Amino acid sequence: MSIADSGDQSVSLDIASAAAGRGPLAMEAISISKDFRLSRSQTLHAVREVSFGLYRGAVVALVGESGSGKSTVARLLAGQEPLTAGSIMLDGAPIDISTHGAFRRYKSAVQLVFQDPFSSLNPVHTVGYHLERPLRLHQASEKGRLERTGRPGKKEITALLKQVRLTPAEQFLPKYPYELSGGQRQRVSFARALAARPSVLLADEPVSMLDVSIRLEMLGLLDDLRRDFQLALLYITHDIASARYFADEVLVMYAGQIVERGPAEQLTQHPAHPYTQLLVASAPDPDNLGSTLRAGAKRDARAPEGANLAATGCPFSPRCPFADDRCREESPALRRVSPTRAAACWRLEIAAPEVLAGTPSLPDHGGVGT
Amino acid sequence: MSAARGDRAAGLGDAPLSTGQSAMEPVLAIRDFSVVYRTKGGDVRAVDQVNLDLHAGEVVGLVGESGSGKSTLAYGACRLLRAPALITSGSVRYQGRRMATPAEIMQLRPDQLKHLRWREIAIVFQSAMNALNPILSVRDQLLDVIHAHLRISREEAREKAASLLDLVGIPRSRLRSYPHELSGGMRQRVMIAMALATDPEVVIMDEPTTALDVVVQRDILAQIVELKERLNFAILFITHDLSLLLELADRIAVMYAGQLLEIGTGSEIQHEPAHPYTKGLLNSFPSLRGPRRELTGIPGSPPDLRQPPPGCPFLPRCAYGTDDCTHVDMSLARVATSPDPEHVTACPFVLPETPIRSAPAARPATTGHPTDTSALVASAAADGEPSHEELTP
């Protein structure tokens, strides 16, 4: 077991990504950080030294609560915010978004899908217009110049709609967003992202605004698109259960840091970091009707929420049941616990002895397909 | 306990409204309740002949997708709806401990209604940021409620406001805070504190935790359960998350296209769902524990309620549907295979193990309004795309 020095960057940990088996590396974030200056004296470290890779045809899930920095990571990868530190590689080369043309080429390869299909589509434009524009812009940039005359054919637009299963496509072209249901709007968002023929798709809570009965269908659609287009997919969510089903690798984010990463099934069934354990324990458990909720009713509900992030030490230490003095003083770095898993915690021996002792055998129900 | 509940939704339209068994009478009895929205394109039948009972101290979960009419039902029962909503039929009888005789909410005068709302039936709204007044401090909002509904002195009211925050686990120092200074979870707690200010007997919670993180959501749910057990109010809990209700609710009512399709206990709904829609909902959320199941979801979308299809509204999406379903009686009847007489469903057919048709919506889907988008999707499924999707990578 190698224990990384606290000053060590997590890149050097050399943890094999569970997503790597699916395809070649498409995008890599190397120790990226983002600070927001709130005032002269206050700085918010929204993202701190986050590293991971996205592989073609694989899904990496970024799980965390609101405010943990997961959407900021997506915005950084999409080139919408400048990095404070670190670098992002696309197909092995550092990304270049310095000029207008370069940025457009970058956008052709890396597309973002937003959470809210009600506000991410322009209410005054039709579905057809929403898809025509990216087709025109990005196909032109592929050719190196913007063709002002050539309009993308209706055929291409309807093909896109068919890919996201909005059929009969012709009937959807003249429709405005308000005429569509939430699921249909999100399909249009997917189609718009696909119009650029991206290799990387960053999906920021793509289904959390949708009804439960539709979510699954949409995740299934995303999964099909990932397979059909060999997309490298970053799936950002606060729902760790959907990450279990949908993702190859799960990264758990807390207060701007990745606190745990590993293959989806292993991580969700045997969480190592106390925060991941809390996340897993908080998910509704229908097999244990009522009991956990009612037992949990006794504990002080104030503790988790009222507690602020620690100024020093492990950011989770104020909420952590295992925290000791070291946790409150020194921030732990990601530490390798198995060839594919790592967690940032000083007290893993106590928090998750079975994970440290070796990857616990998973109950034989599928596991992560590689 | 359940045997003594007396008449309930299973009794349906013929349930006598004035029984003498006061002890176990439901605190809120909704009968034949229908609401339409008057629109240019015709009436939208948002709630259609719904019967539902809420007993004292009980948590009834009302689950359904958006547009299924669950909020309309709850707000309609308190007469909180405004035009174009119109209550076309039904009665809602409230029998509280503090009331000598039951009140028929549909016939109350405005002043009586004012007394009933909040004092007897309180609501926790979904979006705490919108429901709280951004320019009033927490204390002022609590005082506002207290003075409007309770006759107590200023000092008592201040003390009451502070003790309400204690109740939901927010430090008293937060009384001076404004809504924007609170986290989402705290705002929702303030909403709960406000609802409990007048010690109501029924609390309607409309998606109180939907916008929150799982961890915070769990803390708030635990708090709600604890408060309910301490103060013994009944909860009508509205959500689209069935997995949450399986843990929380004593009974679950499944709503679809304005109608109740099934009512049963959490365990019955989970292990012996009698309606295909309930079964579909159960197959819609990934579980974190246990073996990885194959998840199917529910293909298609809900019908256009301006022109509801004849018979069962779920038929266009139902994998078990037959031609008989177009003229099925949608009233709730006891599930034949269930030992519990209170487990009721609108589907007269016992669920077989395997679906009759593998690709739903193979039939002419919804009644064809040319601009009806749900019809478009339904026919999309008919176009030959496999509708059942498998999530396992």
pLDDT tens digits, one per residue of A32-56:
999 988 888 888 889 999 999 999 9
Q: And the tokens for A247?
A: 């993702």
Q: How many CB atoms lie within 10 A of CB A273?
A: 31
Provide the pairing of β-strand A93-94 with A85-90.
antiparallel
Q: Please answer yes or no on whether A217 and B299 come within 8 Å at the CB atom.
A: yes
Q: Tell me which chain A residues have a C-beta less than 8 angstroms from the C-beta of B390.
A: 220
Tell me if the bond preceding A94 is cis, omega within 30° of 0. Answer: no
**Chain A interface disruption, residue of B65, B215, B227, most A CBs within 10 A:** B215
Burial class (CB in 10 A: 0-12, 13-18, 19+), B40: exposed
CA A352, distance to chain mean position in Å, is 25
- For residue A223, the chain B residues in CB contact (below 8 A) are 389, 391, 393
* Residues of chain B found within 8 Å of residue A236, distances taken between Cβ atoms: none
Task: Determine the Cα–Cα distance for residues A303 and B110; give it in Å rounded to an integer.
Answer: 43
Cβ–Cβ contact A181 with B under 8 A:
yes
Residue A215 and residue B377: Cβ atoms within 8 Å?
no
Give the pLDDT confidence score for residue A140 in this predicted structure. Answer: 62
Judge contact between A63 and A261, C-beta under 8 A. Answer: no
Whether the pTM exceeds 0.95: the reply is: no
Name the band, by pLDDT with cuts 50, 70 and 90, for residue A19: confident
Residue with tokens 């005068």: B109
Of B169, B185, B391, the CB nearest to A219: B391
Task: Identify the bridge partners of residue A89 per DSSP, sorted by sequence position.
Answer: A28, A94
Q: Do B288 and A302 touch (CB under 8 A)?
A: no
> How buried is B340 (Cβ within 10 angstroms: 0-12 exposed, 13-18 middle, 19+ buried)?
middle
Give the start-end residues of each E strand in chain B. Answer: 28-39, 42-54, 59-63, 85-94, 103-104, 121-124, 202-206, 234-239, 251-256, 259-265, 333-334, 344-345
Q: Do B247 and A223 touch (CB under 8 A)?
A: no
Residue A348 to residue A343: CA distance in whole angstroms: 8
**Higher pLDDT among residues B139 and A310, named by residue:** B139
pLDDT, residue B365, reads: 36
| Whole-number Å distance between alpha carbons of B319 and B349 | 12
Non-local (6+) Cβ contacts of A19 within 8 A are A53, A54, A55, A58, A59, A60, A247, A248, A249
CA distance B373 to A181: 8
Dihedral, CA of residue B340, residue B345, residue B349 and residue B351, to nearest 10? -70
- Three-class DSSP category at B351: coil
What DSSP line would sit under B174-223, residue for residue?
GGG--GGGS-HHHHHHHHHHHHGGG--SEEEEESTTTTS-HHHHHHHHHH
Local structure of B82: helix, strand or coil: coil
* A89 to chain B, closest Cα gap in Å: 26
Q: How confident is the model at residue A290 (pLDDT cuts 50, 70, 90)?
A: low
Encoded amino acid at B219, one letter: D
Which of B70, B71, B285, B388 should we substitute to test contact with A (largest number of A Cβ atoms within 10 Å)?
Answer: B285
In chain B, which residue's Cα lies nearest the Cα of A219?
Answer: B391
Q: Would you state the structure tokens that stand for residue A169, as one six-digit string?
A: 């496509």
Residue A339 contacts B where some CB pair is shorter than 8 Å = no
Contact A366 B292 (CB under 8 A): yes
Tell me which chain A residues have a C-beta less than 8 angstroms from the C-beta of B283.
216
User: Is the CB of A292 less than 8 angstroms away from the CB of B241?
Assistant: no
SS3 for chain A, per residue?
A: CCCCCCCCCHHHHCCCCCCCCCCCEEEEEEEEEEEEECCCCCEEEEEEEEEEEEECCCEEEEECCCCCCHHHHHHHHCCCCCCCEEEEEECCEECCCCCHHHHHHHHHHEEEECCCCCCCCCCCCCHHHHHHHHHHHHHHHHHCCCCCCCCCCHHHHHHHHHHCCCCCHHHHCCCCHHHCCHHHHHHHHHHHHHHCCCCEEEEECCCCCCCHHHHHHHHHHHHHHHHHHCCEEEEEECCHHHHHHHCCEEEEEECCEEEEEEEHHHHHHCCCCHHHHHHHHHCCCCCCCCHHHHHHCCCCCHHHHHCCCCCCCCCCCCCCCCCCHHHHHCCCCCEEEECCEEECCCCHHHHCHHHHCCCCCCCCCCCCCC
**What is the least distance, in Å, from the CA of A367 to any CA of chain B?**
8
Contact B116, B124 (CB under 8 A): no
**CB distance from A330 to chain B under 8 Å?**
no
Confidence grade of residue A153 (pLDDT, cut at 50, 70, 90): confident
Buried b (16+ CB within 10 A) or exposed e, A302-333: bebbbeeebeebbbbbbbbebbeeebeeebbb
Contact in structure between B33 and B208 (CB atoms under 8 Å): no
Please give the backbone phi and psi of residue A30, each rounded to the nearest 5 degrees, phi first: -115, 105
Mutant choice from B218, B293, B298 vs A, greatest count of A C-beta within 10 A: B218
Query: Based on the number of CB atoms within 10 Å of its own CB, is A285 exposed (0-12), middle (13-18) or buried (19 or more)?
Result: buried
What residues of A are in contact with residue B284 (Cβ under 8 Å)?
212-213, 215-216
Mean pLDDT on A304-321: 71
- Choose among B221, B310, B279: nearest CA to A213: B279
| pLDDT tens per residue, range A100-152 | 888 888 988 999 998 888 888 999 999 999 998 888 887 765 554 545 545 66
pLDDT in tens, chain B (393 residues): 444 333 333 433 344 444 334 447 899 999 999 999 998 888 888 899 999 999 998 999 999 887 888 889 999 998 888 888 899 999 999 988 888 888 888 888 988 888 888 888 999 887 767 788 889 999 999 999 899 888 889 999 999 999 999 888 888 888 999 988 888 888 888 999 999 888 899 999 998 887 777 888 888 888 888 888 888 899 999 998 888 888 889 999 999 999 999 999 988 998 889 999 998 888 887 888 777 777 777 877 778 888 888 888 888 888 888 888 888 888 888 888 888 888 999 988 876 665 655 444 433 333 333 333 333 333 333 333 333 333 333
A285–B contact, CB cutoff 8 A: yes
CB contact under 8 A, A285 and B288: yes
* Residue A29 confidence (pLDDT) above 80: yes
Q: Which two tokens stand for residue B136?
A: 């009033």
CA angle, residues A103, A106, A110, in degrees to nearest 5:
135
Pure H helices in B30-78: 70-77
- The two beta strands, A249-254 and A59-63, are parallel
Location of structure tokens 């293909």? B299
Q: How many CB atoms are closer than 10 A to CB B1? A: 8
Q: At what angle do helices A182-195 and A212-229 cross, to 10 degrees?
A: 20
Mind spelling out the 3-state secondary structure of B93-127?
EECCCCCCCCEEHHHCCHHHHHHHECCCEEEECCC
| ipTM above 0.90 for this complex | no
Which of helix, strand or coil describes residue B283? coil
Domain ranges of chain A: 119-198
CB-CB neighbors (< 8 A) of A240 in chain B: 214, 288
Radius of gyration over alpha carbons of chain A, in Å? 22
